[in-house]
Chain A
Amino acid sequence: SQQGEEDPQALSIQEGENATMNCSYKTSINNLQWYRQNSGRGLVHLILIRSNEREKHSGRLRVTLDTSKKSSSLLITASRAADTASYFCAIGGATNKLIFGTGTLLAVQP
């Protein structure tokens, strides 16, 4: 399966700390995407990183991609209570379908 697997499944940190979550996959990819889901809501796109890119930034978010290790990481710096959500990686292959992982539940304590 090309499904991304997030690690850890759950993460609890204090406001102001950094949060890192990882995604591993098994086959070649075209791109890898990260999404956030607040409780009871739909998913919201955060960042797309292509297979020929190694790092990408968006505000307090930093995504890295290591295709040799088939892994990606999402770093949220200076976390806030509002960052509390589930975070999903999604694998984009050669088709027009995304394969989602099972997510990391992040809790940021005020």
Chain B
Amino acid sequence: DAGITQSPRHKVTETGTPVTLRCHQTENHRYMYWYRQDPGHGLRLIHYSYGVKDTDKGEVSDGYSVSRSKTEDFLLTLESATSSQTSVYFCAISESDVGGGTDTQYFGPGTRLTVL
């Protein structure tokens, strides 16, 4: 398995509180991604990073921010959690874009977040 860890693995929080999820990789891959997975929606991209301090929005970025100050760490922050952000969050990494287009992605184990 690719060296990807996510922390915490489970979290229960209350509406309005800030939450930060951490993704850590030991592969030195350039690209890192945050997805959320909800029933009936598959995986949806929240934000991604193509290098240290280089990030961009995905399909469902509202209410989320990210930071990447080191190659190995990619943080996802919910500034003020809402019940609609209850979900399973996955981090993924990718080495490069191969000949244009997306390379294989390797996924972390996920974080189950419940917002009450």
- Taking Cβ atoms with an 8 Å cutoff, the residues of A that contact B are 3, 29-31, 33, 35, 40-45, 48, 88, 90, 92-103
Task: Give A44 to B41 CA distance when docked, in angstroms.
Answer: 18
B82 within 8 A of A: no
**Number of A-B pairs, beta carbon distance below 8 Å:** 69
Which of A42, A43, A94 is in CB contact (< 8 Å) with B101? Answer: A94
B residues sitting closer than 8 Å to A (CB atoms) are 4, 31, 33, 35, 40-45, 48, 50, 58, 90, 92, 94, 97, 99-110
> Is there an interface contact between A42 and B110, defined as CB atoms closer than 8 Å?
yes
- Docked-complex contact B102 and A97, CB < 8 angstroms: yes
Which A residues are CB-close (under 8 A) to B109? 41-42
Q: A30-B100, A42-B90 are in contact. Are A98 and B107 (CB under 8 A)?
A: no
| Bound complex: CA A95 to CA B102 (Å) | 7
B48-A96 in contact (CB<8A): yes
Contact between chains at A41 and B100 (CB < 8 Å): no
- Nearest CB on B from A72, distance (A): 15
Residues of A contacting B35 in the complex (Cβ-Cβ under 8 angstroms):
100
Return the contact of B102 from the options A35, A96, A101, A103 (Cβ within 8 A).
Answer: A96
Contacts of A98 in B (CB 8 A): 45, 102, 105
